[in-house]
Amino acid sequence: MNLKRSSALLGVLAAAGALTLSACGSDNNSSANGAAKIDVACGGKSSLKASGSTAQKNAMDRFVAAYQANCSSAKLDYTGSGSGAGVNDFLGNQTDFAGSDSPLDPAKGETDKAAARCASPAWNLPAVFGPIAVAYNIPGIDDLVLDPPTIAKIFSGDITAWNDPAIKALNSNKADKLPSDKIGVIYRSDESGTTDNFQKYLTAAGGYAKGAGKAFNGGVGEGVKGSDGTSAAVSTTKFTITYTEWSFAKAQKLSTVRVLTTATSNDPKPVDLTAETAAKAVDAAKVKGEGNDLVLDNSSIYKPTTGGAYPIMLATYEIVCSKYSDADTAKAVKAFLTSAVGNGQTGLADAGYVPLPDAFKTKLTTAINAIQ
């Protein structure tokens, strides 16, 4: 695999394609994504600024369209720069809120820094749920089963060929078709909450010993910036594999791994990534945060006790101040988030996301309404 030139090019394209979304005001009763207008307490700051997760980039398109339908003359600029950059922008008071695929990390001092920036506690609000696909490009193979330990060994460099005995054993019906070619691992070169979630999953379910974090620790493969970059690289490079949000895998029409989980059955079956299997995982997710700080217990997702639940999921958190120093900012942030969890949910499944279950919608709405 020779990705050095293509990786550099994709990195430039990803950087150049940083997302800027604007809701410019409309008197129409429907948004650009077909969602009917809802009643929202609009007003406050006329132009919001946010940055962060690329995982929610496609969802933000729909959220901004809903905000536009609900609130005339409102504007939101969102830059999909990666979770790490988004948190840093928020902590530096450069943005009104951040999008991050991992909650603020107390061990890194992020919680305290956010409280200082806000002059109040910051809240982690999981507003976007999306499966992480393990996407691959093997000519002639459009159905592949892997289990967590095997995925972990691939992404740590312990399994290096597509016809490795462990992969053949999980795909006995096509073992003779698996090529001897080297596995080309493609990972996120930028700090990413997607990487953090994926490595946490591998650690919890697959015995991955490299550790979690927003930087990829596997020590193998080629790095490419952004989920759009990694997905495009797999699309154009044979015998490669990556982890990426389902929305980007769908956009590139990539084949995705069926994941074998032990769940609740003595006769486990591989779980295909579908809207239904992803929704089962979200339904089973539990909150471990206190009050309106809705940090999730990831173990309830990574090691499902519900059969047929797809286990590699991430939640993108909107990181907000519980009390803003400027009341106009608070009002606008509340209007945007109310739109996001309201008519912004329309069409999310078509874009590779999981619409919010009613229970989560209720918790989020309570937290949003409590922002001051």
Binding residues for phosphate, as ranges, are 53-55, 83, 101, 192-194
> In this structure, how many other beta carbons lie within 10 angstroms of the beta carbon of residue 139?
9
Backbone angles phi, psi at 155, to 5 degrees: -85, 0
What are the binding residues? 53-55, 83, 101, 192-194
Q: Tokens 């579908």: give the residue.
A: 274
Q: What is the 3-state secondary structure (H, E, C) of the chain?
A: CCCHHHHHHHHHHHHHCCCCCCCCCCCCCECCCCCECCCCCCCCCCEEEEEECCCCHHHHHHHHHHHHHHCCCCEEEEECCCHHHHHHHHHCCCCCEEEECCCCCHHHCHHHHHHHHHCCCEEEEEEEEEEEEEEEEECCECCCEECHHHHHHHHCCCCCECCCHHHHHHCHHHHHHCCCCECEEEEECCCCHHHHHHHHHHHHHHCCCCCCCCCCCCCCCEEECCHHHHHHHHHHCCCEEEEEEHHHHHHCCCEECEEECCCCCCCCCEECCCHHHHHHHHHHCEECCCCCCCCEECHHHHCCCCCCCCCCEEEEEEEEECCCCCHHHHHHHHHHHHHHHCHHHCCCHHHCCECCCHHHHHHHHHHHHHCC
Rg for the chain (alpha carbons), in Å? 20
Give the Cα-Cα-Cα angle 124, 126, 130 (nearest 5 degrees): 145
